[in-house]
């Protein structure tokens, strides 16, 4: 084996990055607060049934867009949008999850699977559930606005 000459570049050994960056307790608390910001759940009554609703994440909303896409421009667009939003927001009905994935990788299809289930419900049930969802979202919006006001002042 020959040693490299002065003209040849010398390769530096690649040092692995630390796979577990450490955060201070304050940084960790701030990160968790940011992730949780706006996340709310509420149990509402829908025609005598307990329905657990959750506020939506950006990913939830994007999944709704994918589920509703085939209905855009049709007479069913509004119905699909309502059902899609509920598919993202409803966690359980009477203590039973609307849909529960078997594998973590199945979570990408949560909204689509729940949309299929909710599509079997009668329109009056979806409409009533949607009204409760809108009321919940308005309350979440108020809480969020109040938190922003507190942090600014």
In a domain, 10, yes or no: no
* DSSP string of 40-109, one letter each residue: -EEEEEETTEEEEEEPPPHHHHHHHHHHHGGGTTSTTHHHHHHHHHHHHHEEEETTEES---SSGGGGGG
What is the dihedral angle through the alpha carbons of 81, 82, 86, 89, rounded to the nearest 10 degrees?
A: 70
In a domain, 6, yes or no: no
In a domain, 146, yes or no: yes
Alpha-carbon distance 79 to 91, whole Å?
Answer: 20
In a domain, 31, yes or no: no
Alpha-carbon distance 24 to 2, whole Å?
Answer: 48
pLDDT in tens, the chain (153 residues): 555 555 665 566 665 555 566 667 776 666 666 666 667 889 999 999 999 999 998 889 999 999 999 999 999 999 999 999 999 999 999 999 988 777 655 556 689 999 999 999 999 999 999 999 999 999 888 877 777 666 665
- Count up the domains in the chain and report the number: 1
User: Treating both helix axes as pointing N-terminal to C-terminal, what angle do 77-89 and 110-118 enclose, rounded to 10 degrees?
Assistant: 120
What range defines the domain where residue 148 resides?
A: 39-152
In a domain, 32, yes or no: no
Query: What's the predicted TM-score (pTM) here?
Result: 0.72
In a domain, 100, yes or no: yes
Alpha-carbon distance 37 to 45, whole Å?
Answer: 25
In a domain, 8, yes or no: no
The whole-number pLDDT of residue 24 equals: 73
The whole-number pLDDT of residue 136 equals: 93
Is 52 buried (19+), middle (13-18) or exposed (0-12) by CB count in 10 A?
middle
Alpha-carbon distance 47 to 134, whole Å?
Answer: 16
In a domain, 63, yes or no: yes
């Amino acid at each position: 084996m020959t040693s490299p000459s002065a003209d040849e570049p010398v390769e530096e050994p690649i040092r692995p990055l630390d796979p577990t960056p450490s955060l201070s307790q304050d940084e960790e608390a701030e990160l968790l607060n940011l992730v949780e910001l706006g996340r709310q759940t509420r149990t509402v009554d829908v025609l005598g049934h307990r329905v657990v609703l959750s506020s939506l994440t950006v990913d939830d909303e994007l999944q709704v867009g994918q589920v509703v896409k085939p209905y855009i421009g049709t007479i069913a667009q509004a119905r699909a949008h309502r059902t899609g939003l509920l598919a993202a927001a409803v966690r359980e009905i009477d203590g039973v999850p609307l849909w529960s994935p078997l594998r973590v990788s199945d979570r990408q299809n949560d909204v689509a699977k729940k949309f299929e289930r909710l599509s079997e419900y009668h329109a009056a049930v979806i409409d009533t559930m949607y009204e409760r969802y809108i009321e919940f979202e308005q309350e979440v919006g108020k809480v969020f606005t109040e938190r922003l006001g507190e942090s600014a002042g």
